[in-house]
Amino acid sequence: MVSTACPQATEIGVSILRSGGNAMDAAIATGFALAVTYPAAGNIGGGGFLLSRRSDGTITFIDFREKAPAAASEGMYLDEGGNVIGNASTLGHMSAGVPGTVRGLYEAWKVHGSRPWEELVAPAVELARGGFPISEELSQSLMRLEKHGAAFPALAIFRHENGAPLGPGEMLVQGALAKTLEMIASDGPDSFYEGTIASLMVEEMRRGGGLITHEDLRNYRAVLREPVKGVYRGFDIISAPPPSSGGVVLLEILNMLEGFDLASAGPLSSRAVHWMVEAEKRAYRDRATYLGDPDFIDMPVARLISKEYAGRLRSDMSEMSTPSSSLSQAPFDPESEETTHYSIIDGAGNVVAVTVTLNDSYGSKVIVGGAGFLLNNEMDDFSIKPGEPNIYGLTGGTANAIRPGKRMLSSMAPTIVLRGQKPFIVLGTPGGSTIITTVAQLIVDIIDFGMDPAEAVSAPRFHHQWLPDLIYYENDALPDSILGDLRRRGHDLRERDPIGDAQVIMIREDRCGASDPRGGGRSLGSN
């Protein structure tokens, strides 16, 4: 079964499974397909994380997060007065980090791939060359991109000659991207990091005043890391380690919630929402305080995800809201919502969870001339100034400060849940700072409230991230009676647009998948 945010990508993943490929083969083909069909977040110019578990119990985590160029510096987005320069870290060439996706997917192929590399990239080449019909969701996304057309004329590939955006049912053909993918298919990552594509990227940087050099590209490596692991009500949780904050914050939240009887409170009850929000506040406070790139800083990860620490955090929770301002210090010393996730399981029980991103929707809005792909704007995921929120409102500190060659902190949380040492749930979501709380809510909905995947991905969502001190909730997600009780407890609330686009597979006697109704994706089995 394959569950992605885009039907064409889902079908390509399933076709690989049907032809005898394993889950990792399908993940690689699906990743390249999303770079064609889901340009807002699917990519070869960004990065992400891949978590897999083979049927023999072998677990692999691949970090292909982007890195700061060698010429990057801590104050690069500040003016002479120390003030943040508007849009400098979010739009244009200076906002791009060194891309990791191509190296990451190639590393995944080396580790567990079983089909020829060229065979796995070929479907994406054909999609780019031959085109595909634009969905209603993609059409709406391209309309929102229109405001950037004047500043970034290369975005014209998504428009008609008269300037109107391509509409539903019309074909999106990407010839330059097809040629780029062909080179990647035939030459592997060398063409991207050292060959023709690398030269096109460096030339694009020179044209727009960006920082990425040939040396930055040659030096980029995907990294194998040890995932974070925990237990929630007897279920084993495996998730993303730093430089993602996803797994650490997820386990902190679940560890705190384990001390409350959520099942008796009921889903979306004021008690359940209150307890979850209080846990989220404390975990996101720790995110801002401690987490960053493990190659640059030491982090107390083992302590943060311990049951003992969760007990200490839980001990000062009450039936009333704890103001975020009073949580400014941890009790011990020591990333756009346009991301996309896909989940895969093959017939042998191998599972893969992958989350990739350009950061903001369509990343930096820069398309590499002659290569046809968008570059990320991941530099904004650094703490560009201590205490200054990024585009998702996340506040950071010195642990996530910009350094040359450093990977920026992420919220991506590809996650696998085991029951009795066998895969039970494979899940993840986009959503910037809301990724972690969405994954936590999905796990609680399934384990505590007994929902199936379709019910869980359809359930209303809410979110708290420590600062600002607000519960964000989806439009009409909470009834007036619940909102009133939460306000009586001292919470401030704000309504917002839909949260996330989750892709979930559950493995029981059968296998059932669910693609979030908030997006236009699809779950599909291979039989």
Q: Does any domain span residue 102? A: yes
User: Is a pLDDT exceeding 60 seen at residue 333?
Assistant: no
Q: What is the pLDDT of residue 332?
A: 45
In the predicted model, what is the mean pLDDT of the chain?
95
Q: For residue range 92-116, list pLDDT tens digits in order.
A: 999 999 999 999 999 999 999 999 9
List the beta strands (DSSP E) in 261-383: 339-345, 351-357
Question: Is the same domain home to 188 and 245?
Answer: no
In this prediction, residues 415-434 reach a mean pLDDT of: 96
Residue labelled with tokens 């070929």: 122
**Average pLDDT estimate for 352-369:** 97
Is residue 490 predicted with pLDDT exceeding 90? yes
| Domain-embedded: residue 342 | no
Averaged pLDDT, 452-460: 97
Q: Which DSSP helix (H) or strand (E) runs through 412?
A: none
The Cα 180–Cα 184 span in angstroms is: 6
> Could you give the number of structural domains in the chain?
2
- Confidence tier at 511 by pLDDT (50, 70, 90): confident
Same domain, 208 and 284: no
Banded model confidence at residue 396, pLDDT cuts 50, 70, 90: low
116 is a domain residue = yes
Q: How many Cβ atoms from other residues are within 10 Å of residue 30's Cβ?
A: 32
- What is the number of H-type helices and E-type strands within the chain? 17, 18
Same structural domain, 190 and 275 = no
CA 505 to chain centre: 17
Burial class (CB in 10 A: 0-12, 13-18, 19+), 28: buried
Q: Mean pLDDT throughout 163-175? A: 94
pLDDT (tens digit, 9 = 90+) per residue, 226-277?
999 999 999 999 999 999 999 999 999 999 999 999 999 999 999 999 999 9
Label the pairing between strands 339-345 and 522-524.
unpaired
Residue 472: inside a domain: yes
What pLDDT band is residue 334 in, cutting at 50, 70 and 90? very low
Domain assignment present for residue 205? The answer is: yes
Judgement on whether residues 437 and 482 belong to the same structural domain of the protein: yes
Tell me, yes or no, whether 19 and 120 share the same domain. Answer: yes
The residues with which 204 forms a beta bridge, in sequence order, are none
Asked if residue 278 has pLDDT above 60, the reply is: yes
- The lowest-confidence range among 118-132, 156-170, 437-451 is 156-170
pLDDT reported for residue 86: 92
Give the pLDDT of residue 376: 98
Q: Where are the alpha helices (DSSP H) in 135-269?
A: 136-145, 175-187, 190-193, 196-208, 214-219, 246-257, 262-265
Residue 338: pLDDT band (50, 70, 90) is confident
Q: Does one domain contain both 199 and 293? A: no
What pLDDT score was predicted for residue 154?
97
205 in the same domain as 135: yes
Note whether 503 and 421 are same-domain residues: yes
Helix (H, G, I), strand (E, B) or coil at 293: coil
Residue 419 pLDDT greater than 90, yes or no: yes
The fraction of the chain above a pLDDT of 90, given in percent, is 92
Residue 441: CATH number of its domain: 3.60.20.40
73 touches 401 (CB < 8 A): no
Choosing from 339, 355, 357, 438, the catalytic residue is 339
CA distances from 97 to 94, 357, 377, 468 (A): 8, 12, 7, 27
Is 339 tagged catalytic? yes
pLDDT in tens, 294-330: 999 999 999 999 999 999 999 999 999 999 999 865 5
For residues 363 and 502, membership in a common domain is answered with no
> Residues of 213-248 as b/e, b for ≥16 C-beta within 10 angstroms?
beebbeebebbebebbbbebeebbbbbbbbbbbbbb
> For residue range 31-78, what is the model confidence (pLDDT) as tens digits?
999 999 999 999 999 999 999 999 999 999 999 999 999 999 999 999
Looking at the domain assignment, is residue 259 inside a domain?
A: yes
Q: Are residues 445 and 300 in the same domain?
A: yes
Q: 334 or 493, which is more confident? A: 493
Of 524, 181, 497, 96, the C-alpha closest to 342 is 524
Amino acid 27 reads A
Domain that holds residue 83: 2-224+358-382
Query: Does some domain include residue 394?
Result: no
Instruction: Say yes or no: 219 and 231 in one domain.
Output: no
Q: Please report the pLDDT score of residue 330 as a whole number.
A: 52
DSSP at 425: E
Q: What does the block give as tokens for 309?
A: 């620490």
| Pairwise CA distance, residues 356 & 351, whole Å | 17
CB 433 within 8 A of CB 281: no
Same domain, 99 and 134: yes
- Position 387 in a domain: no
Q: What is the pLDDT at residue 391? A: 59
Q: Which range among 49-53, 141-145, 226-230, 333-337 shows the weakest confidence by mean pLDDT?
A: 333-337
What angle separates helix 270-290 from helix 480-488, to the nearest 10 degrees?
60
Rounded CA gap, 237 and 251, in Å?
A: 8
Calpha distance 339→347 (Å, rounded): 27
Q: What would the DSSP string read from start to end of 232-268?
A: ETTEEEEEPPTTBSHHHHHHHHHHHHTTS-HHHH-TT
Hunting for tokens 């309309």 — which residue is that?
143
- Residue-wise pLDDT for 460-473, tens only, equals 999 999 999 999 99
Task: Place 336 in a pLDDT band, splitting at 50, 70 and 90.
Answer: low
> 375 near 368, Cβ under 8 Å?
yes
Of 117, 32, 53, nearest to 340 by C-alpha is 32
